Chains A and B, each alone.
Chain A
Amino acid sequence: MRWNKRMAGGDGRRLRVVARTFGRPILATLLLMSPGWVAICSSSISSNAQAPPAPAAPVARYTVVLDAAHGGDDTGGHSGAWLEKNLTLALSVRLRSLLAARGVTVVTTRENDSTVDRVRRDELANHANAQACISLHASLSGTGVHLFTSSLAPAQPARFEPWSTAQAPWMNRSLALAGVLNSALQHAGLTVTLGRTSLPVVDSMACPAVAVELSPEGGAASSADHSPIDSLNDADYQARVAEAVAAAIVEWRSQGAGAGQ
C-alpha cells in the first residue's frame, strides 16, 4: 500500500519501452516517480516477479503479425467510395487464411472496421513474439507493390529499448525479410519497389517488420477502362499479392529466420 501511495504521488511522467525477458519482448511502462523510485507496471513483469522464471521454452509456434493499417475513423487514403482501410482489411483476411492453412499462427491487429491506435498495434505485435510482422497498406499512387523497411539505423539489442526505436535492433532481420518478400513478389510477376521510410508503427515493432503497400498494377495512369481503383479492387491482383506474401513467409520460416535479432 505504501508503494501505491508513492506511485499515486508520482509526477506521472511515463517512459514507454520494450523490455526483453527470457527472450520474450514485453511492453513495460516505467513511471518515473520521485528520485530513486521507478515503478515497472506490466502484467508480464508482475507475474515473473511472483513466480520463479521458467526456463525458456523452444519456440513451438511460428507466429506472424498482420497489421491492417487504418480502420474505423481513420480511413487512410480515399478516393470517392474507395477507402484504404477496407482494402488493407480485405488483404489481411485473405493473408490470414493462406497463412493459417500453412500452419502459421497469425495475430491480427484488427478483424473489423474498428479504430486501433498506433500504440495498441505495436503492443499487439510486440506481445506476440512474432517471427515476422507485416503492416499492410494501399495507395492509388505508384505502381505495383512497395516494400518499406524502417529508416532506423541498425543497433545492438539491449534489455530495454526506447519505444519509438524498438525496431532498430531488428533492422538486419527486417531487411532480410524484405529481400525474401521481394523475391517472392518478383517470382509472381509483380513490379516491386524497395524503400526505407519513417513509419511510426513499424519503427516501434520489436520483430522483423516490413510495410507492404499495394498500388495499382498498371500505375496511377491506368487506362480509362481499368482505373487505378479498379486495379486495386481486382480480386485476382489481390490474390496474387497475398499468395506471394504467404509464400515468402513460408520461405522465411524454412530459413529458420526471424527468431533472433
Chain B
Amino acid sequence: MIPRHQTVLFVVLLAASIGMTVLLWRQLDRAHQRMLAGENTAPTQAPLVAPAEPATLMVASDTDGSLQPRVLSLPLPSLEANPAARARAILGRLLDLYAAADSSHPVSGGAASVEQVFLLPDPTNSSDPAKAHDKTAQNGPQLAVVNLSGTFAANHPSGIETETLTVLSICATLHANLPRVQSVRFLIDGRQQDTLAGHADLTRTYLTSQAVPAQEVIQ
C-alpha cells in the first residue's frame, strides 16, 4: 500500500512536469514567432548613402525608333569624386528600364549588364593630344569605355534598329549626364566585339554628338 503523502507528492510532481512542458512549448512557439517577425521587418535594401539627384535618361522606343528624355531622381555617387561609378549607376538604371515588363525597348539583363565604365582622356577631341591628360583633369573631353556583359549581348534582340537604339541611347544618356563625355567605345566582357547582336558596329568610336535622335517616323 502506497502511503497517502507519496501519492500526493507524485501527483504534484506530475502536474508540475506537465505544466512546465506546456510552458516550455509556449515559450518556444513565442520565440519562433518573434524570430519570424524579426525577419519580416529586417531591411531588404541597403540604406541609401547618397542623396537622390535628377538624372536624364535617353530612353529608346522601338515603336517609332526615337529617343525620349526621361528625368528620374536617383541616388548617385558624386560627379567629382567618382564620375565613372556615377556613369555606371545611370546606365544601370537605363538598362533596368529596358528590362522592365512594360519596356518600350525590351532588352533583358538590367543594371548588372553594365560591368564597368571607364572615363579616359579623349585625344581625338583634343587640339593638343600631348596635353590631353592634363586637360582631362580639368575640363577636357572624355572618352567613355562601356564594358557590357556577354550575357547582355547574347540576349539582345537582333536587328539594325533595336541594336542602334541601344547604342545611341547609352551614348546620349552618358552625354546628357556627363557633358565632358564626347565619344564612347563598347566592350563585351572586356573585349572588342564586331557587333552587338549581328548588326550595330562595336568596333568604332561613337561620337555623342551623333547620338541625337536622327530617326523620323512617317505615317
**Contact in complex: B160, A193 (CB < 8 Å):** no
User: Is B214 interfacial (CB 8 A cutoff)?
Assistant: yes
Which listed residue, A74, A139, A143, A192, touches B160 by the CB 8 Å rule?
A: A139
User: Is B68 interfacial (CB 8 A cutoff)?
Assistant: no
User: Is B218 interfacial (CB 8 A cutoff)?
Assistant: yes
Which of chain A's residues has its CB closest to B206's CB?
Answer: A198
Which of chain B's residues has its CB closest to A77's CB?
Answer: B158
CB contacts (< 8 Å) of A151 on chain B: these are: 210
Which listed residue, B162, B195, B217, B218, touches A141 by the CB 8 Å rule?
A: B162
Which listed residue, A76, A195, A198, touches B204 by the CB 8 Å rule?
A: A198
Contact-residue size bin, chain B (C-beta under 8 Å from the other chain): 20 to 34
CB contacts (< 8 Å) of B199 on chain A: these are: 137, 197, 199
CB contacts (< 8 Å) of A74 on chain B: these are: 198
Please report the C-alpha to C-alpha distance between residue A195 and residue B195 in the assembled complex, in whole angstroms.
18
Q: Mark B109-123, 1 if CB is under 8 A from A, else 0.
A: 000000000000000
**Contact in complex: A191, B219 (CB < 8 Å):** yes
CB contacts (< 8 Å) of B217 on chain A: these are: 191-193
**Contact in complex: B215, A195 (CB < 8 Å):** yes
User: Is B29 interfacial (CB 8 A cutoff)?
Assistant: no
Known contacts A198-B201, A200-B194, A193 near B64 by CB under 8 Å: yes
**Contact in complex: B157, A77 (CB < 8 Å):** yes
Contact-residue size bin, chain A (C-beta under 8 Å from the other chain): 35 or more
**Contact in complex: A137, B159 (CB < 8 Å):** yes
User: Is B75 interfacial (CB 8 A cutoff)?
Assistant: no
**Contact in complex: A142, B65 (CB < 8 Å):** yes
Q: Which stretch (A98-106, A211-219, A240-248) binds chain B?
A: A211-219
User: Is A140 interfacial (CB 8 A cutoff)?
Assistant: yes
Which of chain A's residues has its CB closest to B219's CB?
Answer: A191
CB contacts (< 8 Å) of A193 on chain B: these are: 64-65, 161, 215-218
| Interface SS, A side | mixed
**Contact in complex: A142, B216 (CB < 8 Å):** no
Q: Mark A73-91, 1 if CB is under 8 A from B, else 0.
A: 0101110000010000000
Tell me the smallest distance from the CB of A143 to a CB of chain B, in Å.
6
Known A-B contacts: A141-B161, A192-B218, A197-B199. Give 8 more (CB < 8 A): A77-B158, A77-B159, A84-B198, A148-B161, A182-B218, A199-B199, A199-B200, A213-B159
**Contact in complex: B200, A141 (CB < 8 Å):** no
Please report the C-alpha to C-alpha distance between residue A40 and residue B41 in the assembled complex, in whole angstroms.
76
Please report the C-alpha to C-alpha distance between residue A78 and residue B201 in the assembled complex, in whole angstroms.
19
User: Is A194 interfacial (CB 8 A cutoff)?
Assistant: yes
**Contact in complex: A197, B157 (CB < 8 Å):** no
Q: Mark A126-150, 1 if CB is under 8 A from B, else 0.
A: 0000000000011111110010100
- A131-187 contacts to B, CB under 8 A, are 137-143, 146, 148, 151, 182, 186
**Contact in complex: B161, A142 (CB < 8 Å):** yes
Please report the C-alpha to C-alpha distance between residue A146 and residue B195 in the assembled complex, in whole angstroms.
19
**Contact in complex: B201, A196 (CB < 8 Å):** no
**Contact in complex: A143, B63 (CB < 8 Å):** yes
Which listed residue, A70, A148, A203, A220, touches B198 by the CB 8 Å rule?
A: A70
Which of chain A's residues has its CB closest to B66's CB?
Answer: A193
Known contacts A193-B64, A197-B164, A141 near B157 by CB under 8 Å: yes
CB contacts (< 8 Å) of A137 on chain B: these are: 159-160, 199
